[in-house]
Copies of this chain bind each other. A is one copy, B any other.
Amino acid sequence: MLSKAQIKYIQSLQHKKYRQKSGQFIAEGDKIVPELISGGMVVREVYATKEWISGHEQVLSGRVPVIGVEAHVLKQLSALTTPNQALALVDIPPAAPLVLKGRVSLALETIQDPGNMGTLIRIADWFGIKQLICTPDCVDVYNPKTIQATMGSIARVNIIETDLLSLLQKEEVPSYAATLQGTDITTFSKLAEGIILIGNESKGLSDAVIAASTHKLTIPRLGGAESLNAGVAAGIICGRLLI
């Protein structure tokens, strides 16, 4: 059973302010909850239906306190329009130290849509990018919709929030800005080190960030569309530069 105070606390974590205050977030989803547990995140408690618990005894066994709740309680706890059978209370991991040398990082400027943010984290994870740099004005990565869209990848990608411009100005490693007026992406060879830069959904990267980047790259357009979705663009760039 959950007390009213517990329900209220979990609901409060739908808001960034309370997540920052408590250092915890909520992960929802039948597949995501087990992924976070096996991915080594600090899962404090799992709230799930009895059916779900009996189907997931192996992943849960002893490792995490599990509370069986009715579907209507899960609905109360959920921030999503379609609630899931399981929901976890998770610690926000401490930020790992920023390491730019010898690896590829993905950096995001002013990404606003929680679903896009989740998709971008999932792309980073697919391509083995372990470090995601976000400007402070990006949507919070611990937003419930973002967490759901990562499909568990949040457990395998370090998130670092920092001022991108001052980072680029140090020119520690090469940086690759996705723009509409850059060099054809097919002329670049495979990357071993650097920062791939993806900008806001409607405005793209800021002029300052583009100017501070060492390379500007463009996905050649063969048809009529004005632009590509930020996640799709990031996927195409990783698909050309990392494999």
Interface residues of A (CB under 8 A from B): 39, 119, 122-130, 151-153, 156, 185-186, 219-229, 231-240, 242-243
Contact = CB atoms under 8 A, between A and B. Distances in A.
Contacts of A243: 185-186, 219-220, 222
A194 to B, nearest CB: 15
A228 B124 CA distance: 10
A228 B122 contact: yes
A215 to B, nearest CB: 17
Contacts of A39: 224
B240 A222 contact: no
A228 B235 contact: yes
Contacts of A242: 222
12 contacts: A122-B225, A123-B228, A127-B223, A128-B222, A130-B223, A151-B226, A153-B224, A153-B225, A185-B239, A219-B243, A233-B235, A236-B236
Nearest to A226: B151
B219 A122 contact: no
A237 B239 CA distance: 8
Contacts of A227: 151
Contact of A119 (B219, B220, B229): B229
A185 B127 CA distance: 14
Contacts of A231: 229, 231-232
A136 B126 CA distance: 31
A222 B123 contact: no
Contacts of A220: 243
